[in-house]
Amino acid sequence: MAPAYSSGLNTPESELESLVPVHPTATRRPYPIVVQSENTSYSDEFITSKFVNRGAAVTVRDGQFVVAPTSKAYEFQTARKVAKTGLMMIGIGGNNGTTLCATVLANRHNISWHTKSGIQQPNYIGSMLRASTVSLGMDPSTGKDVHVPVCDVLPMAHPNDLVLGGWDISGVPMDEAMKRAEVLDWDLQRQVAPRMAQLGRPLPSIYYPDFIAANQEARADNVILGTDKQVHLEHIRADIRRFKQENGLDRVVVFWTANTERYADVIPGINDTADNILKAIETSHSEVSPSTVFAVAAILEGEPFVNGAPQNTFVPGVIELAERHKSFIGGDDLKSGQTKLKSVFAEFLVNAGIKPLSIASYNHLGNNDGHNLSAERQFKSKEISKSSVVDDMVAANPLLYKPPAPGVPKGSKEAKGEHPDHIVVIKYVPAVGDSKRAIDEYYSEIFCGGRSTINIFNECEDSLLATPLILDLTILTELLTRVKYRDASASGEFAPLYSVLSLLSYMLKAPLVKPGTDVVNSLNRQRNALEAFLKACIGLESNSDLLLETRIW
């Protein structure tokens, strides 16, 4: 069986020349940003920076808010050498996986194609890293902001350089899987098909019928045999090691972009601690999901795992296991269209002092993701991830929404306090394929008992929005494995970041965060946090929108 590899590795010498990356953006160039500051230093190996994290401690005394400014100095050390990185996708033969492989190949080999509107050039539009910018500061000669691509702030992997591989329960070869997905223009498929064929068939994956919809059974012809979950775990670990070794990789990011699973029950003694989840795998417990087996395999191999679907892959035992091994995990659920808009629009209304009373979201789509979500238990996972996206914005405004009463048990319905009605509906409509239709209604209270209704209709090609997010999450994850920190007041060793990569939240619907900390769903806050962190790693403060120089004499 041919491995799901790319980029010319494990390819006969006669074919290597045609597979060398030629896209001009992949060429190496000097590091584009140099910070001249006592807070930033450069060596051949590292960028080292000093950063002061400023905040405020607030206490309430007899109805008065007492605020004490706080500050703590840190040092960051970022390895300058970008790791040679592989991306192993679970679900590589699906819409997202095939779209990612085909579009990376198109960019790598500079393949343009005909559409009904003319010639289309390959690009990475939709990638926050490669198609958006940050402001470094102001040009003193013009008074204008200077913007640079986000990917230039720190050394990052280029999507063209990723080595691609992965698993799928369907054994259809990658070129045929691309055709089956019906996402890309025909002329692009025609030209990229020979290169997709060189990727071969996906590696056999894990199939536990209880976790995905019954309508997926017909696709499951490429599965690891047996029911022993410990054997499955060791099989996946061996796949990761072999992929890494045969491709000469420094880092492998394992990424779940397969079907949505049902939620796994969190059971004391089964998946609540690291030791218990390992024992549950060893005994093949029924509540251990395929995605959890993949996550544990990546953690034990010391490689990052990102969950791009809404299920609860990261049960408490998996998080504890990642902490124990200082491995990196991130998730959940790609935030590409309707939910991303909701996180912006709901925040706009609440920040404007307008009170959303209900948010009703409906969407239909016809790809295999929609087919799987037509099953009730899989839909429930998606509903949970979509429904929590406005929680922190509502909780931030006690003027509009009554907070929970003191003593309300955490996790109960009343713990949210007053909250807008929030309804999510997803329907499977095969005729529309990958082109998802979404309708949102925002019904709000305005001045003196008035009402406002805003309706938004959104049509999008689902996989073409999701693919750049997978690339961004992979590239950011690799970068964050190269960043270490220490307390600037101490002289200890630099330590890796915390295992849960909450800085990935900008691309995720239900962000995984450090246990005991609040989830931030606000898109603006998520983007600002990521931008501030990248700048901190080169010794820069976040830009102030105060623009004080324009407001004083």
Active site residues: 333, 382, 436, 509
Q: What are phi and psi of 41, to 5 degrees?
A: -135, 155
Whole-Å CA distances, 92 to 96, 119, 167: 7, 28, 6
Secondary structure, 3-state, 106-172: HHHCCCCEEECCEEECCCCCCCHHHHCEEEEEEECCCCEEEEEEHHHCCCCCCHHHCEEEEEECCCC
Residue 88 identity (one-letter amino acid): M
What's the rounded Cα separation, in Å, for the pair 425 and 460? 17
What's the rounded Cα separation, in Å, for the pair 435 and 150? 29
Residue where the block lists tokens 């920076």: 49
Q: What are phi and psi of 451, to 5 degrees?
A: -130, 145
Q: What are phi and psi of 273, to 5 degrees?
A: -135, 165
Q: Which residues contact 46 (CB under 8 A, 6 or more apart)?
A: 77, 78, 79, 80
Contact 502, 514 (CB under 8 A): yes
Token output for 66 = 């007492």
CB atoms near residue 493 (< 10 Å): 8
Could you tell me if residue 378 is left (phi over 0), alpha (psi between -120 and 50 degrees) or otherwise beta?
A: alpha
| Sheet of 355-365, strand order | 421-428, 355-365, 435-445, 451-461
Q: What is the largest CA-CA distance in the chain?
A: 79
> DSSP assignment of 29-70, as one string?
---S----STTEEE-SSEEEEEEEEEEEEEEEETTEEEEEEE
What's the rounded Cα separation, in Å, for the pair 15 and 2? 16
Omega before 332 within 30 of 0, i.e. cis? yes
DSSP secondary structure letter of residue 515: T
What's the rounded Cα separation, in Å, for the pair 208 and 228? 11
What's the rounded Cα separation, in Å, for the pair 385 and 393? 16
